[in-house]
Amino acid sequence: MSDAPTTEPCDGCGDPTTDALARTLRLSVDRANIDTQRLCPDCFADWIRRYQDRMADRDGDGGDSEIIID
């Protein structure tokens, strides 16, 4: 038995990130899952900012997309 926390690298920066801190982010477009990323809090905040910028540019023209965050 191990009491070490589960640690896996962040998909953004590669830093080891424990499950307790990591955010799993699923991007789906038209109900199809197109992207899943496991991110540390820093990369997560970054990603959200970029996503919102991109969505603002498209202004409703990008179909039915949504982010699911676990």
| Chain residues in the site for Zn ion (CB under 5 A) | 10, 12-13, 40, 43
Which residue number, 12 or 24, has a Cβ lying nearer to Zn ion? Answer: 12
Q: How far is the CB of 7 from Zn ion (least distance, A)?
A: 13
Rounded Cα–Cα distance for residues 42 and 45 (Å): 5
Q: How far is the CB of 44 from Zn ion (least distance, A)?
A: 8
Rounded Cα–Cα distance for residues 3 and 5 (Å): 6
Q: How far is the CB of 5 from Zn ion (least distance, A)?
A: 16
Rounded Cα–Cα distance for residues 62 and 39 (Å): 24
